[in-house]
Structure 1
């Protein structure tokens, strides 16, 4: 019996979507060998989540290869026997355990993300993309490689009860969402915000920041749309992958 036949239809669809997100990160140059990770809570099983096998590149991840484990770290399904990245478990279990409203978490080490995470100013309100995160992004101080489970409490505290984006200082980016498509949309917006900030600052010219009132207004405009923007674009992402390499869905 295949894994698809063993799990619920909802879990299988989540596996397909999460595997697609891994492939999309590869397409959009948001990978770092085997050092980063994306996760999704298993529908109907709030204490279980899916994570990538440690050692597989993002371009290799499939729906079947994803590891299913509990928030306490017990492995339930590991088809390839590769186990998970210890830091990945720490980070993703922290967010999913601390926020039952969130169902997907994405963490990257991109050049732009690392650069902005190392700036004292943090993310600046200088682009329309960054308006998604105006007064809506949290910051977490660097504590070394995240293999100490005690760091989970600090991650939960720093993310807080509302925000869905976290900048890991001197480290990288993290977004979360109500679904895989929602978290991925936020990741793309945050990555583009960081790229634009690095590009603008590299000119050496004075930056024109969006006024506070306009920033707050624009952020509310995005918030009022909920998950619409991520949901609307997700089928197009899947169509693109289906044309290039549909193996992610297997």
Structure 2
């Protein structure tokens, strides 16, 4: 269980905790009676509101980030997104901000531990800590995107368009959808979270060098949640956290599945009922924020912590 934390009004994930008001926690659900500090104030009811974690030190945040990256792999495996040695996820290191942590290639997603993670340099993707090999496409894509966009939301020197976590896996419906040369239609509430925030990246073969990583990074704007790597899969972006990036990957897969099912069910002469633009924008504002991305994964994190019995922390 997380320790009792404290926060200040207007805090963001990743900021150091001040001591203006204590909050309680139940597993991954820190909460407070001070409604004004919650990014979820308008969507919840009751005497308390959920809040995001804050940390007393950068070292404490590093532990949290690495453990949640390990949990993200386990969650993605549980959704059936692990395929051979394909797939890589990463999170920036808050202590050494010019580095990031990523999985060694060949390690089971289902058994990932924080100690298995490999530390790489943002500048060129070179390994700075760890003995096991890393997928060359992981070091190429992740390093060049982190390098191109800078630190993410709430970080020192960061911006709304920066990135703190990345996820790329080969999930079946997203892989199929990536061959259609289009983005999601606005046919469901969940799809609205991705409205005008989906980049299309043309396929150029396997990614093995930083030049190709830089090309992919150049096509991802500060407003994008995901990049649809055509004929390949999805790269999802966490502006705030690795949890957020993992949730956008999972949610997009479910939306792609719904899209393919709807496309296959459409009869000749029929048309989809699309959501109206203002409703789409309102829905995106409500469920598509970086904070909501983090929060939407919280239930899966809680479940995976139960399955792990602490192994991910080793």
Give the TM-score taking structure 2 as reference length.
Answer: 0.72
C-alpha RMSD over aligned residues: 1.8
Equivalent in 137, 142, 151 of residue 87 of structure 1:
137
Say if 1:185 and 1:229, in contact at 8 Å, map to a contact too: no
Q: Could you say what secondary structure the match of 1:161 adopts?
A: coil
In the alignment, structure 1 residue 186 sits paired with structure 2 residue 238: no
Q: d(CA) in 1 for partners of 2:227 and 2:305?
A: 31
Report the secondary structure of 2:98's partner residue.
strand
How far residue 132 of structure 1 moved from its aligned partner, in angstroms, is 0.7
In the alignment, what sits opposite 1:3?
Answer: none
RCO higher in 1 or 2 (8 Å CA, sep ≥ 6)?
Answer: 1
Distance 1:73 1:137 in 2: 25
**What's 1:217 paired with?**
282
Other structure's SS at 1:159 match? coil
The 8 Å contact of residues 120 and 139 in structure 2, kept in 1 or not, is answered as: no
Contact 1:165 1:174 (8 Å CA) reproduced: yes
How big is each residue's C-alpha offset from its partner over 1:142-191, in whole Å with a ceiling of 9 and x where there is no partner? 00001132112321221022212111011101111110111122222211
- CA positional deviation for 1:234: 4.2
Count of aligned pairs between the two proteins: 240
Q: How does 1:147-226 map to 2 (within 5 A)?
A: 147-177=208-238, 178-205=240-267, 206=270, 207-223=272-288, 226=289
User: How far apart are residue 210 of structure 1 and its match?
Assistant: 2.3
- Partners of 1:137 and 1:121 lie apart in 2 by 9
Aligned to 2:302: 239
- Asked if 1 retains the 8 angstrom alpha-carbon contact of 2:99 and 2:119, the reply is yes
Q: Structure 1's 141 and 68: CA in aligned 2 closer, same or farther, altered over 3 A?
A: same
SS at the partner of 2:166? strand
Q: Give the conservation status (yes or no) of the 8 Å contact 2:183–2:198.
A: no
Alpha-carbon distance between aligned partners in 2 of 1:65 and 1:123, rounded to the nearest angstrom: 35
**Unaligned stretches of 5+ in structure 1?**
1-6
Which one has a larger percent helix, Structure 1 or Structure 2? 1
Deviation (angstroms), 1:233: 4.0
Decide whether the 8 Å contact of 2:137 with 2:213 is kept in 1. no
Matched-pair contact (CA < 8 Å) for 1:50–1:69 = yes
TM-score normalised to structure 1 length: 0.89
Corresponding residue number in structure 2 for 1:115: 176
1:31 corresponds to which of 82, 95, 110: 82
Deviation at 1:232, TM superposition (A): 3.0
Deviation at 1:235, TM superposition (A): 4.1
Aligned partner of 1:45 in structure 2 is: 96
2:75 corresponds to 1:14: no
Unaligned runs of 5+ in 2: 1-57, 151-161
Which residue does 1:229 correspond to in 2? 292
